Amino acid sequence: MSRFLLFGASRGLGLAITRHLLAQEHEVHALVRSQAQAVELEAMGVRVTQGDALDGEAVALACAGAGEEALTISTLGSFRAERPVDFEGNRLVIDTLEQCGLRRLLLITSLGCGDSWPFLPERARAAFGHEVRLKSLAESWLQSSALAWTILRPAGLQDGEPTGHARLAPQGEELHGLVRRSDVARLAHALIQDPQHIGRIYGCVDDALIRG
């Protein structure tokens, strides 16, 4: 059993990862802002620190609670929020992990970040371009850190049962399409536990899923 520290655990992809890790009987710690979401995660078996990812003290408390051996996954992101966490929140997580002695971080962003920007359709740039640019800044901040990092850029995310057909793609491959959150959770679990993926960037897509 491994110990995990999650940022963004209470909804969307982060919640799918939380459920996957708990199903594998891992110890899961999480920083959660909402009291209602904290109660729900605690009922599932998550060890919760309540606080905001933009609050340095709260992030440090979550790191201390999880301990230096924890494997950290961040899915932090926001859409048109007054205080977006895509960069500032992830930057604070990265800096605090370094300060607290935690070493391993899997940052999950999205297709279109970094050098995959040219592959992002114009329609997606118009809708999500600002958030993608902020996530790209977080990727750059992480790559210049002292952490043992991996970056995962999923395609468009879907709910639903895992198909088992999602695949990792090497950095530089042009990707378009969809992937189930439950499949990304499985791949994220595998990526963070295998040291051969340290310092690598991957895309993630399910070629069998076609946009309607």
pLDDT at position 78 is 83
Residue 66's pLDDT is: 97
The beta strands (E) that lie in 155-210 are given as 156-158, 167-170, 178-180, 200-205
Domains and CATH numbers, the chain: 3-206 (3.40.50.720)
On average, the pLDDT of the chain sits at 94
Q: Confidence class of residue 211 from pLDDT cuts 50, 70 and 90? A: low
Angle, in degrees to the nearest 10, between helices 88-100 and 56-66: 50
CA 62 – CA 165 distance, rounded (Å): 34
Q: Are strands 200-205 and 148-154 parallel, antiparallel or unpaired?
A: parallel
Distances (CA, A) of 85 to 74, 132, 166: 11, 12, 27
> For the whole model, what pTM was predicted?
0.95
Higher pLDDT, 96 or 172: 96
Quick: pLDDT tens for 73-88.
Answer: 999 998 666 788 999 9
